[in-house]
């Protein structure tokens, strides 16, 4: 399984970047985890839009879902002009009015997901965990072949999240706040929280994402490494990670 970072900004995207979006590729199939601001544009650096058929949304904050509309209209145009033959499938929480807007027959269809579900999307086996966030949000565990990826989406640190993420080859962890902030109050994780998550879950690689617009995000890596000695990297636009070998490449081939 390959993971390509399409966007890793938290809240609002930086220039020429996007908010949360991660493209998983395995056995010739593709799955996009979240589709935040700017993702529809950045995605096309890695994959033609007509080759994407599945989008899973962790929750409905705009920095995780706003470009679902752009992808929907893109599929409408492509199917009407013959550039695409298959509809786009969304998977999301049954929260209205957001969920109903994901279906635009015959171009897009939506299927509900919940914390207790097990979902098979082509070669991807997905399970979920409800996170500690101000709105309902799901962390996602994706298995394909011998590879396991966990995406925390948004949420404060909890022991249950660490248990859910235990042993992942790649753990994409939101790191919205610098050390010293109150992550529990914000419903997000600080670098201190992410270090604790690393110690408890022991992933093959910890990839820091949902990065803040202020300060120097590279400091987050230093702060995590000061408290955990595993492999820690900062997510960067269009970087790829190969699982389970975890060989990082600097650009999409």
Summarize pLDDT for 121-164 with one digit per residue, the tens.
999 999 999 999 999 999 999 999 999 999 999 999 999 999 99
Cβ neighbours for 164, distance < 8 A, ≥ 6 positions apart: 129, 139, 141, 150
pTM for the structure as a whole: 0.94
pLDDT digits (tens, 9 = 90+) for 216-238: 999 999 999 999 999 999 999 99
- In the DSSP assignment, the letter for residue 14 is P
Q: Provide the CATH number for the domain around residue 148.
A: 3.60.15.10
Across 155-193, b (16+ Cβ under 10 Å) vs e yields bbbbeebbebbeebbbbbbbbbbbbebebeeebbbbbbb
Q: Is 223 in a helix, a strand, or coil?
A: helix
CB-based burial label for 132 (10 Å; 0-12, 13-18, 19+)? middle
Residue 30 lies in a domain: yes
**Is pLDDT above 80 for 194?**
yes
Residue 227 lies in a domain: yes
The reported pLDDT for the residue numbered 247 is 42
The pairs formed by 14-18 with CB atoms below 8 angstroms and a separation of 24 or more are 14/213, 16/237, 17/42, 17/237, 18/42, 18/67, 18/237
Residue 253 lies in a domain: no
Q: For residue 216, give its domain range.
A: 2-248
Residue 122 lies in a domain: yes
Q: Which two tokens stand for residue 217?
A: 């995000």
Residue 212 lies in a domain: yes
Q: How confident is the model at residue 208 (pLDDT cuts 50, 70, 90)?
A: very high
Count of domains in the chain?
1
The reported pLDDT for the residue numbered 244 is 79
């Amino acid at each position: 399984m390959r993971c390509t970072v399409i966007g890793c900004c938290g809240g609002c995207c930086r220039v020429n970047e996007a908010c949360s979006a991660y493209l998983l590729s395995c056995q010739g199939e593709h799955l996009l985890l979240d589709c935040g601001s700017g993702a529809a544009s950045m995605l096309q650096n890695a994959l033609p839009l007509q080759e994407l058929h599945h989008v899973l949304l962790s929750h409905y904050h705009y920095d995780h879902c706003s470009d679902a509309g752009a992808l929907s209209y893109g599929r409408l145009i492509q199917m009407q002009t013959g550039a695409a033959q298959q509809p786009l499938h969304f998977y999301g929480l049954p929260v209205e009015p957001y969920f109903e807007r994901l279906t635009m027959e015959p171009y897009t269809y939506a299927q509900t997901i919940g914390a207790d579900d097990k979902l098979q999307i082509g070669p991807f086996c997905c399970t979920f965990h409800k996170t500690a966030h101000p709105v309902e949000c799901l962390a996602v565990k994706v298995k394909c072949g011998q590879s396991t990826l966990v995406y925390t989406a948004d949420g404060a640190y909890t022991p249950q999240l660490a248990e859910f993420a235990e042993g992942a080859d790649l753990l994409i962890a939101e790191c919205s706040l610098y050390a010293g902030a109150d992550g529990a109050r914000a419903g997000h994780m600080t670098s201190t929280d992410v270090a604790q998550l690393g110690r408890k879950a022991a992933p093959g690689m910890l990839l820091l994402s949902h990065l803040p617009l202020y300060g120097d995000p590279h400091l987050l890596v230093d702060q995590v490494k000061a408290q955990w000695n595993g492999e820690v990297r900062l997510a960067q636009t269009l970087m790829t990670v190969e699982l389970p070998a975890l060989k990082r490449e600097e650009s999409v081939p």
